[in-house]
Amino acid sequence: MTPSEPRWRRLEPDARKEQIFTCATRLFGERPYAEVSTSDIAAEAGVARGLINHYFGTKRELYLAVIRQAVTLPNVVPEVFPDGPLEERAATAVSWFLDLVVDHGKMWITATSEGIGRDHEVEQILFDAERRSADRVLDVVGVPSDNRNRAKLNAVLRAYAGMIKAAGREWLLRNALDREQVHTLLHRSLLVLLTDVFPAMLDEPLELTSRASA
């Protein structure tokens, strides 16, 4: 069997769609966008190429779906987040995020550093994901949803996201840092933002609540 020949499998429609998506995620994470064809994805998934169009449309539409999944955090804050001291909540938030990065693997690196040139749709996906992710962090550390400065705090955390992306590449791509070191970097930096930078920018104390009392 050559690499271009599909490895046919008998799958239910939902399983077949998931198989296509999983294989596309792996290939887009390993190669530049231009070097991955729908024939490559079909062969890897063991399906006819027409099924890719049936389920996802064009290669670009499938790529955008993969990008969106790679950078989007779950909508609901997990119950594992503690209601204890700020330092503990921040540490748990960083650990939770790093677990998600590991789950997404190489595709997270690709999605946050490459994209398709200056593509407006890709940039919008990344911006929306960063904004939602920043809101998750604000929720976890106890910034009330009605805080009048919440939009500004969200913007500061989006700037902090640049450090997150760089640290992720040093860890997963270059092996220059290990997970513990990345956790320390992101955790301590987040605490500085919350306890020093935020109040200085707002020129007032930042009132935080526990999740239980929010």
Question: If DSSP states are collapsed to H, E and C, what string results for 128-143?
Answer: HHHHHHHHHHHHHHCC
pLDDT number for residue 202: 83
How far is residue 172's CA from residue 143's CA, in Å, rounded to a whole number? 31
Extract the tokens encoding 125: 């996906």
Question: Reduced to 3 DSSP states, what percent helix, strand and coil does the chain have, rounded to the nearest 5?
Answer: 70, 0, 30
How far is residue 67's CA from residue 80's CA, in Å, rounded to a whole number? 26
User: What pLDDT digit, counting tens, does each position of 155-212 carry?
Assistant: 999 999 999 999 999 999 899 999 999 999 999 999 999 899 988 888 777 877 765 4
- Work out the average pLDDT over 3-14: 57
pTM (two decimals) = 0.77
- Work out the average pLDDT over 6-16: 66
pLDDT band at 75 (very low <50, low <70, confident <90, very high): low
| φ, ψ dihedrals at 85, nearest 5° | -60, 155
User: What pLDDT digit, counting tens, does each position of 17-31 carry?
Assistant: 999 999 999 999 999
Q: Cβ distance 47 to 19 under 8 Å?
A: yes
Answer whether residue 100 shows pLDDT above 50.
yes
Comparing 3 with 62, the larger pLDDT belongs to 62
Q: What is the mean pLDDT of the chain?
A: 85
Q: Cβ distance 93 to 140 under 8 Å?
A: yes
